[in-house]
A = this chain, B = another copy of it.
Amino acid sequence: MHIEKTSDPKTLQLPAGFRAAGISAGIKKSGVKDMALIVSDVEAVMAGTFTTNQVCAAPVKLCRKHLEGRKGRAIIVNSGVANACTGPEGMKAAQDMAAQTASLLNVPETQVFVCSTGTIGKQLPMDVIGSGIQKIVPAVTVEGVHDAVEAIMTTDTRPKHCTLRIEVDGKPVTVMGMAKGAGMIEPGMATMLSFILTDAAVEADALQACLLAAVKKSFNLVSVDGDRSTNDTVLCMAGGAAGNKPLSPAHRDWKVFSDALYRVAFDLAMKIIGDGEGARKVVRIEVKGALNDAEADIAARAVANSMLVKTSWVKDSPNWGRVMDALGYSRAKVDETLVDIDYDEHPAVRGGMASGSSVAELKKIVARECFVIKIDLHLGNGRAEVYSCDCTEEYVRINW
C-alpha cells in the first residue's frame, strides 16, 4: 500500500467561478492564519454532511439549517476556537459570522455557511472575528486558495488538498477539495472540516447523494484516535461555471463525476490519517469473512482503535496477538480457530495461531510507512476496511 501524504501546492487550483482567501485574524495568539473564506461568484448548489456526535457545535447546527435551501455563496471558517458547548451565545456568534459575511458580500445570509475548529467550550472573540471578516472579504482571489488551505489548519502539520480534472459533456470540469484534521478523528458522517468545490453543474439531490456516498467510503473509514468530534463538517459546492448540462444519475458522465468526487474525498481522508497527530504510519485494516458488513466494520474498528495495537506499530512490532485480542473483544462474532491474518504479502496467523512466518519478515512489513493487515474471519461474506495510524509519544505530547 502506498499513500500520498503530502499535497503538492503546484496542483492546487480552484474550479472556475470560485475565489478564496486565508488571513491571520488574531484568534490564535501565535499569529498564524486562522480565518478562511471561500466564495462562489454565483449561487452554487450545496451538499453537506455533519458529525453524528450528540454534542455538536453551533456552526454545525447553523450549517444544517442553511443547507435546507441547498444553495450557497460562501463558506467562512475560523480555526482556534471550535464554538462548541457555547450555548445561545455561541449560536448567536455563528449567526453573526454568517450575517456579517453575507452583508459585505451582498448575498443572502442563509447562503453563507460557517465552520469553526479549535478548542471546545470557549466563546468566539466576536470583535476579532468581526474585524477579520472586514479584512478577508475584500481579499478573496483565485490564488488565495493557497492561504485558505493553511488557515483551516490546527494541529495539522501540512495543508491537505486535492485537485482533479475531468470532462463532462466534453467540457473541462475541476473537482477540488481541501481538508483539515489530525486529532479527534473518527468521523461519523464527515471529518473535521472539508470543502469540495466543483465548477460542474449538478442537481442538488444528486450532489447530496454523491457526497454522502463518497464520504462513507473515505472520511468515514479513517480513525486517528477513536474520538468523534463535535464539529465534523464536509461541504460541497457545485458552481456550474463549466457550462455542462446539470449532472444527475441520468447523465452519461455521472460516473466520471461521482468517481472524481469520491477520489478527491478519499485522497483528503488519506492525507488526514497520514497526518494523524504524532503518527508516522498509515495502516489499512481489511476484514473479510465476517457475518455481515456491519460486523466486519465493528471488528476492523476494534483493531484500528486498540491502544495496544497502535502502540505496537511504533517500533515495528508485528504483535498480531494484540490484533487477535482486539478481534475477540469486539462485538463482532469471531471464532478464534478460524481467523487468518496477513501483513501485506506475508501470512502471520492461520487458524488463530502463528503461521510460521518469521518475526523478522513481519517486522520488515510493520516498518513500512504504509501497510495492510488483512483479516479473514471465515464466517460469512461481510467486508470492511478502516485506516488507522500508530500512536506515538508525540500524540500524548500534542494532547496533554
Contact = CB atoms under 8 A, between A and B. Distances in A.
Nearest to A228: B329
Interface in A355-400: 391-393, 395-397, 399-400
Interface string A310-326: 01111101011110111
B228 A325 contact: yes
Indicate the member of A122, A307, A336, A351 with the most B CB atoms within 10 Å.
A307
Contacts of A239: none
A327 interface: yes
Nearest to A314: B400
B121 A225 contact: no
Contacts of A399: 307-308, 311-312
A227 B321 contact: no
Interface residues of A, number: 63
Nearest to A351: B87
Interface in A281-321: 305-308, 311-315, 317, 319-321
B396 A311 contact: yes
A184 B328 CA distance: 13
B314 A396 contact: yes
Given A337-B87, A354-B121, A400 B312 contact: yes
B325 A229 contact: yes
A14 interface: no
Given A307-B226, A329-B54, A329-B228, A321 B396 contact: no
Contacts of A400: 311-315, 317
A117 to B, nearest CB: 12
B353 A121 contact: yes
Contacts of A349: 85, 121
Main secondary structure of the interface of A (DSSP, over half): loop
Q: How many copies does the complex hold?
A: 2
A84 interface: yes
A7 interface: no
A382 B396 CA distance: 33
Contacts of A325: 53, 55, 84, 120, 184, 227-230
Contacts of A327: 54-55
Contact of A87 (B86, B306, B353, B395): B353
Contacts of A397: 393
A56 interface: yes
Given A85-B352, A225-B308, A352-B85, A334 B54 contact: yes
A157 interface: no
A324 B86 contact: no
A119 interface: yes
A324 B87 contact: no
B321 A82 contact: yes
A52 interface: yes
A183 interface: yes
A340 to B, nearest CB: 12
Interface in A181-199: 183-184, 186, 188
Contacts of A314: 396, 400
Given A85-B354, A184-B322, 10 more contacts: A56-B336, A84-B321, A120-B321, A121-B321, A121-B349, A122-B354, A227-B329, A228-B325, A313-B400, A317-B400
14 contacts: A54-B336, A55-B327, A84-B321, A85-B321, A85-B349, A186-B329, A227-B306, A230-B324, A307-B307, A307-B391, A307-B399, A315-B400, A393-B393, A396-B396
Task: Give the 4 A-B residue pairs with the shortest CB-CB distance, closest first.
Answer: A120-B321, A55-B328, A311-B399, A228-B329
